[in-house]
A and B are shown apart, each in its own frame.
Chain A
Amino acid sequence: MSFLIAQSLINGVILGTLYLLMAIGFTLAFGVMRIVNFAHGEFYMIGAFCALIGVTWLGLPYPVTLALTIVFAILMGAVVERLVFRPFRNDELSGMIASLGLAMILQHGALILFGPDPQAFPAMVSGVFKWGALIVPKSRALALGIGLVILLIFYLFLMHTRHGRALRALVQDQEVAAVFGVRLEIMYPLGLGLGIALAAVAGGLMAPLFGVSPFIGATPLLKAFIVVILGGLGSIPGAALAAILLGLIESFTSSFISASAADIVTFALVIGVLLVRPAGLLGRAEA
C-alpha cells in the first residue's frame, strides 16, 4: 500500500508539472490580452508535430528541436496576434469565438497535412530509475526535468527582465502600464507568443510519451482550463498550485478508485471551488 501511495505521489507530481506548462501559457495569454484562447490546445499539437518533424524527418537532436519549436511558436504567436486577435482587442467574446475558429483551422490544417493516423515518435530515452520498489520512467523524468528548466527560465524572465516586468504590469493593469510607457505593440505579441511557446514546448515534451496526431490538443486544453479556473484566471502562482493539485488528485483517484472517478472528483472540485471562491484559489476578484 505504501508503495502505491509513493508511486501515485511521483506520478501525480510529474503529471502536475506537465499540466502546469500548458496552464501557464494559457493564463498568461489571458492575463495579458484578456482572451480565452481556445486554440491553445492546437498549439500543443503543433509543438508535438514540430518535434516530430525535427527529430524524425530532419534528424535533429531533441534539445535543438525543442529550442527551434520555442522560437517557431513565439513567431507564430506574434503572427496570430497580429492577424487574428488584434482586431478583437477590446472585445473578449468575439476574441474567444475567433480563437475557436482558429483552433478548427489549425486542427483541420494538420489533418490535411499529416492525415488522421497517429504518428510514431521514437523514444528519447528508455529504462527506469528505481529506488527500492519505486519507479520513475526515464522518459517521464526527462520531460519533467526539461519542463522544470523551462519553467525556471520563464520565471527568471518574468521576474528579472524589463520585458518580464512589463508583462506583469500589463497583467495587473493595462491602462496604468501603458501610461508608464509599456509598449503594447510589442508586449501583446510577446505575451501571446510566450504563452503559445509554452504550449508548443509542452507538446514537444509530451510527444515521446503520448504520441502525435492532429487530435491530441483537446485533452491538454481541457486540463489547462481546469487548472486555470481552479487557480484563478490570470494568476500564475494559482496555476502552479492548481496544476500540482490536479495532477495529484488524478493520480491518486485513478490508482486507488478508478479512472472515471478521477474525472468526477476533478470536476466536483472545480464546482466546489467556484462556489466558495468564484475567482479561483489565488485569483483576484474583478472590480
Chain B
Amino acid sequence: MKRTTILAAASALAMVATGAMAQETLKIGALVTMSGAGASWGNGMKRAAELAAEDVNAAGGLEVGGTSYQVEIIAYDDSYKANEAVTAANRLVFEDKVKYIIGTVGSAPILAIQPITEENGVITMTLGFTAQALGADKQYTFRPNPTTAEVAQPQIDWIVRTQDVKTVGALFPKDETGEAIAKDLASAYEQAGATLAATEFFERDRVDFIPLLTRIIAQGVDAIELDGNSPVTAGQIVQQARDLGFEGVIIRTGGPATQEIVNVAGEAATEGMFVHSAFDPGLASAKAYEERYVETYNEPMNGFSPFFYDGTKMLFQAMQDAGTVEDTEAVKTAYENISDYDGILGTMNWTGGERYGIAHQLDSPFYIARVTGGQEEIVARCTSAGCE
C-alpha cells in the first residue's frame, strides 16, 4: 500500500516535471522605432506586444500543439532608419532566431528588411503605410492597422462636404511614407471635389516649419492636412500654423496621434481640429486597454497600439490553430484564415486582395473626431463605404 502511494507520488512528480519541462520560450522580435520622432509609434507597438505576451504568460503560457510557451519580447530600435532596421533584422533572424517580428514602424525600414524576413519565412507585422509593403510576392508580411489608402476617401468626402473645404495645403516628410501618402491624398481630395493645392516636402528631423507654412498660407488654402507626419511633427505644424495666424480647418486624415499633437501644440491650437480615430472610447474593451496601458507605462497611449495588441493576439490564435510555432508557413495560412476576429477595437477582418494583390491588410471600423478641449469627440462613424 505504502509502496503504491510512493509510486503514485513519484509518477505525479514526474508528470509535473515533464509538464514543467514542456514549458518553453517563444521569442518574438519587436523591431520598432524607440528613439526620435517616431518613438511614440514604436513604443506603442512594442508595448502592445508586451501586454499581449503578459496576457498569455499570466495564464500559464501559450498552449500550442500540447506545449506551453512563455512569450518573450526582444526589442531593438531602428531609429526609423532603413540601414539600422536591416542590422536589427539580421540580429533577430540569425542570432536570436525569432520567427515573428512586430515591426517596423516606417515604410523604408520594412521594404529594407523584407528581403531578409521573406526569404527566411519570418512573419512581420508592419505599420508602414506604403502600398509596396504588401504584395503577392510578400507572403509573410501583414499590416494589422488601416492606412491612408483605406480610410482617406470616406473621411475626406465627409469633411469636404460638411466643412466647405475647397483648397488644402499639406506638408509631408520627404521619404517613401510621405510620397505615398501625398499621392493618395491628392487623388482622394480631387475625388471629393477639392484640390490639394499646396504641398511641401521636408526632411524628417525638421522642427521649424514657419517658412514652409508661410508659403502654404500665402496661397490662401482653406485647410491644412497633417497626415503622414509623426505625432510630434504634426503637433509642431499645428502650433506654428496657428502662430502664423492660420484660422482654417486642420485635418488629420490618418494615423491616430491626437494625444501627442495636443501635448505638443496645446489645447488652444488644436481646438476644432478634425482627426481620424480608430478608437471609440464608448467601447468598453478599448477603454479598458487604454487604462491598462496608461497604468502600466505611465504615458498616454499611442492610437496604433490597440491594433498591434489585437494583431499579436490574432497571431497567437493563428499559432494555436496551426498547432505549431516553428512552421511559419502553416501559421501564416492560419493567420490569413482568421475572420470576424473579436478584437478590442471591434470586429477585425483581412482585406486588400484587390488593392495590394494579397489580403494581408486589416479592415476595422473607424471614426472622424473633432478635438474639443484636447479630447476627441466622435462626429462621424465610418466604414470603407462612407461616413455618417
Interface residues in chain A, defined as those with a beta carbon under 8 Å from any beta carbon in chain B: 3-4, 7-8, 11, 15, 111, 115-120, 122-123, 126, 128, 130, 135, 137, 139-140, 209-211, 213, 215-216, 218-219, 250-251, 254-256, 258-260, 262-263
Closest to A1 in B: B218
Which residues of B have CB within 8 Å of A4? Answer: 214-215, 218
| 24 sampled A-B residue pairs with Cβ under 8 A | A4-B218, A7-B214, A111-B35, A115-B299, A116-B34, A116-B39, A117-B39, A117-B299, A118-B37, A119-B263, A120-B263, A123-B239, A128-B244, A135-B245, A137-B243, A137-B244, A210-B236, A211-B207, A211-B236, A213-B232, A251-B211, A254-B211, A254-B215, A263-B203
**Cα of A117 to Cα of B201 in the assembled complex, Å:** 24
**Interfacial chain A residues near B245, Cβ < 8 Å:** 128, 130, 135, 137
B131, CB-defined interface residue at 8 Å:
no
* Pair B214/A255 contact, Cβ less than 8 Å: yes
Q: List the A side residues contacting B34 at CB < 8 Å.
A: 116
B residues sitting closer than 8 Å to A (CB atoms) are 34-37, 39-40, 43, 174, 200-203, 205-208, 210-212, 214-215, 218, 232, 235-236, 239-240, 242-245, 260, 263-264, 266, 268-269, 299
Residue pair B206, A11 in contact (C-beta under 8 Å): no
Q: How far is the CA of A218 from the CA of B36 in the complex (A)?
A: 12
Of listed A11, A111, A122, A256, residue having the most chain B CB within 10 A: A11
Question: Given the complex, which residues of B lie within 8 Å of A210, measured CB to CB?
Answer: 207-208, 236
Point out the residue from B212, B269, B299 that lies within 8 Å of A254, measured CB to CB: B212
Residues of A within 8 Å of B207, CB to CB, are 210-211, 216, 219
Q: Which of B174, B200, B235, B242 contacts A211 (CB 8 A)?
A: B235
Q: B242 to chain A: which residues have CB within 8 Å? A: 126
Bound complex: CA of A216 vs CA of B263, how far in Å? 17
What is the bound-complex CA distance between A241 and B18, given in angstroms? 77
- Name the B residues within 8 Å of A218 (CB-CB): 205
**Within 8 Å CB of B260, what residues of A?**
117-118
Q: List the 4 shortest-distance A-B pairs measured between CB atoms, nearest first.
A: A254-B211, A137-B243, A120-B263, A210-B207
Q: How far is the CB of A91 from chain B (nearest CB, A)?
A: 32
Which residues of chain A are within 8 angstroms of B39 by Cβ–Cβ distance?
Answer: 116-117
Cα A4 to Cα B218 with chains together (Å): 7
Q: Which of B174, B205, B243 has most chain A Cβ within 10 Å?
A: B243
List chain B residues, Cβ under 8 A from A7. 214, 218
B203-A259 in contact (CB<8A): yes
A11 B232 Cβ-Cβ under 8 A: no
B205 CB → nearest A CB, Å: 7
Whether A15 contacts B215 by the Cβ 8 Å rule is no
Contacts of A262 in B (CB 8 A): 211
Whether the Cβ atoms of A15 and B264 lie closer than 8 Å is no
Known: A123-B268, A126-B268. A215 touches B36 (CB 8 A): yes
Asked if residues A3 and B43 are in contact (CB atoms below 8 Å), the reply is: no
